[in-house]
Structure 1
Amino acid sequence: MPQYPNRQFLDFENPIKELYEQIEDTKKLAEKNPKIDYTNTLRQLEDSIIEKRKEITRHLTPWQRVQLSRHPDRPYTLKYIDKMCTDFVELHGDRSFKDDKAMVGGFAKLDGETVMFIGQQKGTNTKLRQLRNFGMANPEGYRKALRLMKLAEKFNKPVVCLVDTPGAFPGLEAEERGQGEAIARNIYEMIRLKVPVIVVIIGEGASGGALGIGVGDKVLMMENTWYTVISPESCSSILWRSWDKKETAAEQLRLTATDMKGFGLVDEIVHEPLGGAHWDYTEAAEILKSYLVKALAEIKNTDPAQRVNNRIEKYGKMGFWEEAV
C-alpha cells in the first residue's frame, strides 16, 4: 500500500491525514535528535490512526460511502485478480469491432480452481484513466465479456464478474454500435449460462453499465460500494437541477450495501479492511477471496438446468409492487 505523503485523503479522512503528518514530523525530530527515543510517541500515533479509522468507519453517511467507492487509491479489478489469483491470462477483443480497455477478463487460478474473471477496470493515473475510459465500457466491451462467458461455459469453468463502473459509456458512437442491445443481450445470456456465476460490486455499480455483467447465482457487494440505477450527482441534477443535492440524493436512493441486502438485491456484504479497501490491498483481496471460494463451493455442484431455473426465479422475485384492484 502507498504510504503518506503519497496517499490521497478524502475530506472526512483529514483527521487521519493530520495524524500521519504528526508521524512524519516526529520522525524528522528523531533524525535531528538521535539521543531522544520517540518510539512510544510513534506507537501512540499509529494506535490513534487505527482508532480514528474505526471511528470514521462507524459513522459513514451514504455519500461518504460513494466517495470511498471512488477513492483514487482503491483497488480495481486487475489488482484484486493479482492479489487473489495465480496464472492469470488476459484475453482480448470481441471478435467483431475491437478490444475495449475498460472491460478486462481472462482465466486465472483461484484457490487451485480455474475461473473466468471479468470486470471493469479504471486507470490508476491520468493517462491510464483515459486509456480505460474511466471504467465506462463501450458495446464491444460487453460483447467481449459475453464472448469470455461463453468460452468459460464451453470449458465448464465458473465465471466471476467484478463490477466497478460509473455507467456504460454514453457517447454517440456507443449508441450507434448498439450499447443498449449489447447490455440487454448480456443480461439475457447470463441468465441462461449453465456454469456458476458470481457477481461482486467492488466499487461503483451504476445502472445498465453494472447490469451488463451483473446477473449471477450470487451477488456480493463490498462494504463501501454503491449499486443503483443512477449516480447521486445525476439524480440531483434531474430532480433539483443542480449537483448541490448529491448528498441528499445518495441518502434517498438507498444505494449502500446494507440497503441493497435489505431489498434482497444482493446476497451478502463483503467486509473491508478498517477504513476501506484502499488501506490494505492484500487484506481486502484475502477477504474477498474467502467469500468467493465459499460461494463457488455452495453452487458448483448444482445441476446446470436447476441453476438456470434458480437464477430465473431469483431475479423474477426482485422488486416491490402492488396490484390495483
Structure 2
Amino acid sequence: MRLLVSGGAGFIGSEFVRQTISNHPEDRVVVLDKLTYAGNVRNLDPVAQSANYRFVEGDICDGTLVAELVRDVDAIVNFAAESHVDRSLEAPGQFIQTDVFGTYVLLEAARASGVERFLQVSTDEVYGDVEEGSSTEHDPLRPRSPYSASKAGGEMMVWAYRASYSLPVITTRGSNTYGPYQYPEKIIPLFITNAIDDQLLPIYGDGSAVRDYIHVADHARGIDTALRQGTAGQDYNVGYGGATSGGEVADLVLGALDKPASLKQHVRDRLGHDRRYSVNSDRLRGLGWRPLVPLDHGLRETVQWYRENEQWWRPLKSGEFWEFYRRNYKPLQADAAQGL
C-alpha cells in the first residue's frame, strides 16, 4: 500500500511507521506532521534512510497540501491530534481545530481522491466514565473532557462521510498507551523522568482513577491489523484488558527505579476526572490480534529506555513544559492530603 500517515512523528504514529517500514517493506509511507511540541522528527530516525519513506512537515488543516499528498496514496491513517486532557481543559479551541476540522480536511481529500481506506485513530476516552464492565463498539459515546469530545467529534465526521459518501472508513479506539518516545507530560514518562531526577510524582486526587495500559507496540500492531484485515465501516477497540490506578503506576515506576515511596505527591484532582476506562477488544481479537506485552514487563523496559535515552527527553522538559507543569499540578494542603 501507499500510505499517508498524518501525525506520524508523534508517539503512537511513529511506532506505527517504524513497524510498517520493518514489517511491510513493499509499502510506501509518507508522514505528514506539524511538529508541534509533542511531535518529534527524531522519533523517525530509525527509518529516515529508508527508500520507501518520506517526511513532510505540515498541518492537516492545510487543505491544499493535504489534497496534493492524498492524490498519490491508497490509504490514510490519521494519528494527528491534540491529545492531552489537561491541556484541553486549558485551551479547548486548539483541540477542536485539529481533532475535528483537521479530520474534516483529510476526509474531503480522501473523498476527492477515492482512497481505498481511511483509518481514524481515536481513543477509549470517547466512551466516558465506565463504572463497571467494559465498553464495546456498540456503546454510545459520552465524552466528558474537551479532548475526548473533540475526538468524538472527529469520529462523527468520519461516520458522516461513511454514510453520506460511502467512504471506506475504519475507527480504532485505543486505551492508555505507554512506551519509548512518549512525550514526558503523560503519566508514565512523567513519573519515570521525575523519579530519575528524584523529583516528586504528582498523583491526581487519591490516585484511585483506573486505566487500561497498553504498550505502544501492541497498540500499533492493533491499528495495522484493523487497517489491513478490518471491515470498512467498522470500529475496533484496542485495549490490553488490565486495570491499573494512578497510585499503582507510581508504585511500579518507583519499584523499577528503586526509589522511595516518599516521592509520591497527591495533587489537586483533574477537573471532571473520569474514574475508570475499560474496553472490550474481542472484535479486534477476532482478526487474530493479541496484546503481547504485560504491564510489569513493558514498564520495566520503558524505564530502561528512558534511562538510556536522556538526550531524547531532557531537552523536552524545559521552558514551556515546566510553565504548564506548574499551572497544572497544585499540591494538596497537608490537612487535605491526610484525608485521602
- TM > 0.5: no
Structure with the larger helix share = 1
Question: Could you state the TM-score of these two structures normalised by the residue count of structure 2?
Answer: 0.30
Question: Could you state the TM-score of these two structures normalised by the residue count of structure 1?
Answer: 0.31
